[in-house]
Each structure stands twice: as C-alpha cells, then as structure tokens.
Amino acid sequence: MQTIDLRGVTCPTNFVMAKLELEDIETGTTIEFLLDDGEPAKNVPRSLKDEGHKLLGLQERDGYYVLTLEKGED
C-alpha cells in the first residue's frame, strides 16, 4: 500500500496534496496518509470523506495520525 507523508504540511495544503495524490490512483485502491496531530488530524480525514472517499481507519501513532482511505468514485 502507498503511504504519503503529510506531516509538517499545514492546512489546507495537506488536504490539497492528498486530493492530488488521490487523483492519480484507481477507484477502490487503498492508500495511507500520515498526518500531524491537531488541525490536520481534525480537518483532513473529514474533508476527504466529504469528497466521497471511504475512511477505513484513523489511528494515533507516536504523536501523529495514520489515515487509511479507499479511493471513491471520481
């Protein structure tokens, strides 16, 4: 599975980068994003879910979050 590290990237750049990344993969593919605690963890998963992607998991790991998503329909 592909992992995209978005730690150290502030809102909304992290969200836009995640979007751009999702544009390049097939519907139904699973992908992982690493997100900072705080605003990024609060905003990015919710925003991506609103865009039609399936949230599979969100787990805290040593001060950051791992978001697992399945790409939805374009």
Where do contacts with other proteins occur on this chain (CB under 8 A)?
4, 10-13, 15-17, 19-21, 23-24, 43, 47, 50-52
**Pairwise CA distance, residues 58 & 69, whole Å:** 9
Q: Minimum distance from CB of 23 to other proteins (Å)?
A: 8
Q: Minimum distance from CB of 59 to other proteins (Å)?
A: 22
Give the DSSP H or E segment for 14: helix 13-23
Give the DSSP H or E segment for 57: strand 54-61
Q: Which is nearer to other proteins, 12 or 68 (CB)?
A: 12
**Pairwise CA distance, residues 59 & 51, whole Å:** 20
Q: Minimum distance from CB of 46 to other proteins (Å)?
A: 10
